[in-house]
């Protein structure tokens, strides 16, 4: 099904569902709308009281490790592309003061922002979502959201983590297995695998600079040293599968399971959550304390023992 048709179906479905549910609009606790999930994470990290709603509500598992406020916020849909589109009327009914979009600053997204700014009558800001610009993004968001000093500390920590990440020792060649069957991947240069590639790991998949779908035989032909996945379902399924775990010379292929809660460490969404992977890649053995601290700053809850990446035997 093409994206437009899918989007149309989903849009129609949302519209009907919202209409059927009656005119009651979700009770907003904040006045800043996130145009997409990456922006939502940025706002949540910098000034979570100001966030009006989730473009896509986190799963029940994720909500379990986020502060209670996260569960109270309603799902609004995404104003930018990617995921279920938002109902503009419902968004406007919340009377927001600002919309923040966090991601690619290409002309397309700028134009989208300009259009929606006129339609909604609300101020729209597009912040550059590049990984290396995270400290600047945090500072810019702090200014927009009038967040104050706490945000400055986060920005500094982010800058330190990125420095260490850049100097990380080289890692293995890898294949990023996206989704439960692992046949979707981020090719070399894509947003999904940026964190690993920047730390000196080499991505075996190279066709475009985006997401794509390949076959198992292709993975065998590329012969990566390691498989990287966010999905525990995939990890469990291929743990003992010789086709996935045997390399071309007969050795066993390594399997890395990255944490996924509350948000994936490298990919979903491409936002501040990726700092956790950066911290780990810089120092796999001794970064537990840094990660615990970073988790608390980003999400608001500090797990006693944070979930760490696992090399599955």
Partner 1 sequence: MNRLKAALLPAGLILLALVGALAVMATGPLAVAPEALLAAVIGTGSPEAELALALRGPRLLAALTCGAALAGAGAGFQILFRNPLAAPDLLGVSSGAGLGAALALLLGAGAALVQGAAFAGGLAAGGLALACAALTRSGDGRLALILCGVVAGALASAGLGLVVIVAEPYSQLPSITYWLLGSFTRATLPEAVGAVVPVALGAGVLIWLGFRLDILSLGDEQARSLGLPARPLRLLALAAAALMTSSAVAVAGVVGWIGLLAPHAARLIVGERAGRLIPASMALGALFALLIDRLATAFGPAEVPVGLLSAAIGAPAFLILFVTTSRRS
> Which window, 138-146, 156-164, 189-197, 205-213, contacts partner 1 (CB under 8 A)?
205-213
The contact mask relative to partner 1 for 128-167 (x = CB under 8 A, - = no) is ----------------------------------------
Residue 296 to residue 294: CA distance in whole angstroms: 5
Among 64, 65, 26, 58, residue whose Cα is nearest residue 41: 58
Q: How far is the CB of 205 from partner 1 (least distance, A)?
A: 7
Q: What is the distance in angstroms between the CA of the first residue and the CA of the last residue of the chain?
A: 38
Among 271, 283, 272, residue whose Cα is nearest residue 163: 283
Nearer to partner 1, 211 or 312 (CB): 211
Q: At what angle do helices 149-166 and 37-47 cross, to 10 degrees?
A: 120
15 touching partner 1, by CB under 8 A: no
- DSSP assignment of 13-43 equals HHHHHHHHT-SPPP--S-SEEESSHHHHHHH
Residue 30 to residue 32: CA distance in whole angstroms: 6
Q: How far is the CB of 238 from partner 1 (least distance, A)?
A: 11
The contact mask relative to partner 1 for 231-270 (x = CB under 8 A, - = no) is x-x---x----xx--xxxxx-----------------x--
- Strand ranges across the sheet with 310-312: 202-203, 173-177, 226-229, 254-257, 310-312
62 touching partner 1, by CB under 8 A: no
Member of 152, 183, 292, 301 binding partner 1 (CB under 8 A): 183
Collapsed DSSP state (helix, strand, coil) of residue 295 = helix
Question: For residues 161 and 142, is the Cβ–Cβ distance under 8 A?
Answer: no
Member of 23, 68, 107, 217 binding partner 1 (CB under 8 A): 217
Nearer to partner 1, 145 or 205 (CB): 205
Task: Return the number of other C-beta atoms located less than 10 Å from residue 255's C-beta.
Answer: 20
Collapsed DSSP state (helix, strand, coil) of residue 201 = coil
Q: How far is the CB of 252 from partner 1 (least distance, A)?
A: 11
> Which window, 64-72, 109-117, 208-216, 281-289, contacts partner 1 (CB under 8 A)?
208-216
SS3 readout for 64-111: HCCCHHHHHCCECCECCCCCCECCHHHHHHCCCCEEEEEECCCHHHHH
Nearer to partner 1, 207 or 289 (CB): 207
Site for partner 1 in 70-129 (CB under 8 A): 83-84
| Count of residues in contact with partner 1, rule CB under 8 A | 37
Q: How far is the CB of 206 from partner 1 (least distance, A)?
A: 8
Q: How far is the CB of 37 from partner 1 (least distance, A)?
A: 9
Q: Is 179 left (phi over 0), alpha (psi -120 to 50) or beta?
A: left
The contact mask relative to partner 1 for 18-57 (x = CB under 8 A, - = no) is --------------------------------------x-
Binding site residues, partner 1, CB under 8 A? 1, 6, 9-10, 12-13, 56, 83-84, 179-181, 183-184, 205, 207, 212-218, 220-222, 231, 233, 237, 242-243, 246-250, 268
């Amino acid at each position: 099904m093409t994206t437009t048709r899918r989007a149309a179906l989903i849009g129609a479905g949302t519209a009907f569902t919202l209409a059927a549910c009656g005119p009651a609009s979700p009770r907003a606790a904040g006045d800043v709308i996130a145009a997409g999930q990456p922006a939502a994470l940025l706002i949540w990290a910098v000034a979570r009281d100001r966030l009006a709603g989730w473009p896509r509500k986190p799963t029940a598992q994720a909500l379990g490790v986020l502060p209670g406020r996260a569960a109270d916020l309603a799902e609004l849909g995404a104003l930018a592309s990617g995921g279920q589109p938002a109902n503009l009327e419902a968004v406007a009914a919340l009377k927001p003061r600002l919309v923040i979009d966090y991601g690619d600053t290409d002309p397309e997204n700028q134009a989208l922002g300009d259009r929606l700014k006129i339609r909604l009558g609300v101020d729209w800001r597009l912040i550059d979502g590049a990984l290396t610009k995270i400290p600047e993004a945090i500072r810019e968001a702090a200014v927009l959201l009038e967040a104050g000093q706490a945000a400055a500390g986060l920005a500094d920590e982010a800058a330190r983590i990125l420095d260490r990440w850049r100097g990380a020792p080289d890692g293995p060649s890898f294949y990023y297995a996206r989704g439960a069957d692992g046949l979707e991947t981020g090719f070399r240069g894509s947003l999904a695998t940026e964190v690993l590639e920047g730390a000196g790991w080499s991505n075996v998949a190279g066709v475009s600079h985006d997401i794509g779908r390949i076959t198992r035989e292709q993975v065998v032909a590329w012969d990566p040293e390691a498989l990287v996945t966010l999905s525990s379902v995939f990890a469990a399924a291929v743990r003992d599968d010789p086709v996935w775990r045997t390399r071309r010379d007969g050795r066993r292929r390594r399997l890395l399971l990255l944490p996924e809660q509350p948000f994936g460490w490298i990919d979903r969404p491409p936002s501040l959550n990726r700092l956790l992977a950066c911290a780990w890649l810089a120092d796999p053995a001794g970064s537990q304390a840094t990660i615990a601290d970073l988790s608390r700053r980003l999400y608001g809850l500090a797990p006693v023992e944070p979930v760490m990446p696992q090399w599955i035997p």
